[in-house]
Amino acid sequence: MNRYIGHESQLYGVEEMRLVGGRADSMRILQVRNGKGLEFTLSLDRCADISRLSLGGVNFGYFSPCGYVSPKYYDKEGNGFLKSFTAGFLTTCGLLSVGSPCVDNGETLPLHGTVSNTPAESVNYQIENDTIHIKAVMRDATLFSHKLVLEREYLVSLSENKLSISDRVKNIGSSEAPLQMLYHFNVGYPLLDENTILNIPSEEVTPRNAHAAEDIENCLVMEKPQRDYEERCYYHKLSGIAEISVKNPKLKKGFTMSYDSASLGYFTEWKMMGEYDYVLGVEPGNTLPDGRDVMRAKGLLETLKAGEEKSHTITFRFTEEK
């Protein structure tokens, strides 16, 4: 115990709050600090995703123009997802579908699925062994249909700026269900600018479309915000323990993200250099964001059998040079 303080929250800890006003009214959030400069916010009513993240007071994520939006305003028609896409440092896409709106097996599926607009039904947190433990449970289940449960755990070190996200998805139903997940990590200003260095150890890079192909040689090069910029997406083939880094030498800050590519076999880079819409997506997943119908047609759709479960862990190390 530190005899210099009256309460641990003087240095680190978790505080639960509610937002007031506008479309964010009554949304539950957790403010998390590790006492080493890492601070982030979990949006409990939005899949316990990370809405804000900073290191030493410097923002790392992208916050979209719509801001915080309660799931009660979610519009699942077509691209209605974008009306409430806060983005933040993490938006989870899935669990039944990821990517473009489509019709698959007679089911109409919205952009990026619905789990990011699903509130956590239970949340608990504690500090133990120099680590903050946060657990949340989200349920994606329907009568006469799929029954999936997402159990999420955050581990936050109190001795270094390290954060891990571990997810376990269970099929608690009696029939097989599709499983698509994409971790939509969104980097924003000031960590992201034209000086930012993106390193992706790709074995192969595939542009999503002809527009992306036109500038594939610059896929890792960040640019200044541009008017009327059209997004470019690139699919990177990775193997083993993948380590992707984003660093800004001007700020002397950045992060390295690592995960097992055997578990999350796809990686999407979303390069959006538009004015006000200025964001870099670094997105591991078990699918490409082309729509569930496309993945099924290619024989690449992952499923969970009744009683089966699958787990993924992503670890971040945040760096700060003196």
How far is Cα 258 from Cα 114, in angstroms, rounded to an integer? 26
17 occurs within a structural domain: yes
Q: Is the pLDDT of residue 32 over 90?
A: yes
> Stretch 184-197: mean pLDDT, rounded?
98
The token pair that represents 219 in the structure block: 């896929």
Average pLDDT, the chain: 97
127 occurs within a structural domain: yes
The 3-state DSSP composition of the chain as helix, strand, coil percent (nearest 5) reads 10, 50, 40
pLDDT grade for 79, boundaries at 50, 70 and 90: confident
Nearest partner of 88 among 219, 19, 183, 229, judged by Cα: 183
1 occurs within a structural domain: no
Residue type, 271: K
Q: Which residues contact 136 (CB under 8 A, 6 or more apart)?
A: 42, 44, 48, 120, 122, 123, 151, 152
Cα–Cα distance list, 8 to 100, 126, 160, 163 (Å): 45, 12, 17, 19
Q: What is the pLDDT of residue 322?
A: 77
What is the domain range of residue 84? 8-320
Nearest partner of 237 among 282, 268, 280, 191, judged by Cα: 268
3 occurs within a structural domain: no
Q: What is the pLDDT of residue 179?
A: 98
> Stretch 28-41: mean pLDDT, rounded?
98
Q: Is the pLDDT of residue 1 over 80?
A: no
- Number of domains within the chain: 1
Percent of the chain with pLDDT over 70: 100
What CATH number is given to the structural domain containing 260?
2.70.98.10
Cα–Cα distance list, 50 to 36, 43, 61, 102, 260 (Å): 18, 6, 9, 27, 21
Cα–Cα distance list, 171 to 144, 182, 213, 278 (Å): 14, 18, 38, 37
Nearest partner of 98 among 259, 261, 283, 232, judged by Cα: 283
Task: Classify residue 12 by its DSSP letter.
Answer: S
pLDDT grade for 78, boundaries at 50, 70 and 90: confident
66 occurs within a structural domain: yes
200 occurs within a structural domain: yes
- 214-234 pLDDT, tens per residue? 999 999 999 999 999 999 999
243 occurs within a structural domain: yes
DSSP letters of 243-270?
Answer: EEEEEETTTTEEEEEEEETTTS-EEEEE
Q: What is the pLDDT of residue 125?
A: 98
Indicate the pTM of the whole model: 0.98
How far is Cα 225 from Cα 134, in angstroms, rounded to an integer? 36
179 occurs within a structural domain: yes
Q: Is the pLDDT of residue 305 over 90?
A: yes
Q: Containing H/E element for 131? A: strand 131-141
